[in-house]
Amino acid sequence: MKSLVIHGAEDIRLEEQPVPEVVAGQVRLRVQYVGICGSDLHYYYLGRNGENHVREPFVPGHELSATVDLDPSGELAPGTPVTVHPARYGPEVAGLQDRPHLWPGGDYLGSAGVFPHRQGAATELLVVDRDMVRVLPEGLPLRRAALAEPLAVSIHAVVIAGDVSGKPALVLGAGPIGLLAVAALRRAGASEIVVGDVRPEPLARAEALGATRTVLVTEEQIEPGSFPVVLECSAAPVSLGSAVRAVAPGGIVVQVGILPDQEISVNLAPLLAKEAELRGTFRFSTEIDDAIALLAEDPSLEDVVTQVVPAADATDAFATARDAARSAKVLLAL
């Protein structure tokens, strides 16, 4: 079988690998699509994602749709369309029983955070634990289903924000996570969804997905203190500063984009006078099930996928995914 393997910064190869064995409690999948995430871009272009360095040949990818190839239990027939919850959790932690994604000791598909690395989904055949598999609703196309993982991230961020029903919300950054956050906020009942970005092309995509209003932040100011809910999805430290200025008194800023693993300069003083809160969010827990249901209900979400590129053209795919003017979500076809 063929797999995409990262050997170091800007060194990715389509290689022949042995077909993985499958045992009881596991399922072997035939991968159809894999989304390119920001972490995948970091692994490819930098050879690392934050503190996680590529230390051995590494298959990236954790956003996927697939069909069942082999289920030893016989519960899932070959050809059954599925997606995957990419996490395996560590031992339960007291006080965090309902937040297993925060338990230390687990791993995540396509992550170099453990060694040996947790090999990812950019491969023709993938073996995962049976409880990670989610059968897709009838009629949900595999192309759209590949958005389940990033949509779950956005839904979880809205959960972290609390009750947004009837409240105006601001999304900063109209990349794939920000675009999917528009859908998550709409589903949660936000009264107004304003999206800000530094480029016009992502803002046009946000409007198509139901944003109430968009702001090109290089030309227009966001009124300070005007949003009870702000989701920072760009991962740019300067954007976090904008979020802190924009949040209303008593409001919530949720940092969704993964900030660089270093000291950054952000003026947090406005949080104090406004008694606003800054909350972090990390991946998700059960929200992938909500994401699958929403994808089945809303065909317009497929517009977040802007390109599908054969795995053999991975270097072109990564270059396209890096260019926000050209792309939102880029999928690799295996």
What's the chain look like in SS3? CEEEEEEECCEEEEEECCCCCCCCCEEEEEEEEEECCHHHHHHHHHCEECCEECCCCECCCCEEEEEEEECCCCCCCCCCEEEECCEECCCCCCCCCCCHHHCCCCEECCECCCCCCECCCCECEEEEEHHHEEECCCCCCHHHHCCHHHHHHHHHHHHHHCCCCCCEEEEECCCHHHHHHHHHHHHHCCCEEEEEECCHHHHHHHHHCCCCEEEECCCCCCCCCCEEEEEECCCCHHHHHHHHHHEEEEEEEEECCCCCCCCCCCCCHHHHHHCCEEEECCCCCCHHHHHHHHHHHCHHHHHHEEEEEEHHHHHHHHHHHHCCCCCCEEEEEC
Residue ranges covered by each domain of the chain:
2-135+298-333, 153-280
Predicted pLDDT of residue 133: 98
pLDDT interval class at 85 (50, 70, 90): very high
Determine the average pLDDT of the residues in 284-313.
97
Can you give the pTM of this predicted structure?
0.96
Top CATH class of 153-280 equals alpha beta
Predicted pLDDT of residue 171: 98
Write down the CATH superfamily of domain 2-135+298-333.
Medium-chain alcohol dehydrogenases, catalytic domain (3.90.180.10)
pLDDT interval class at 180 (50, 70, 90): very high
pLDDT digits (tens, 9 = 90+) for 224-241: 999 999 999 998 999 999
Determine the average pLDDT of the residues in 307-330.
97
pLDDT digits (tens, 9 = 90+) for 252-287: 999 999 887 778 889 999 999 999 999 999 999 999
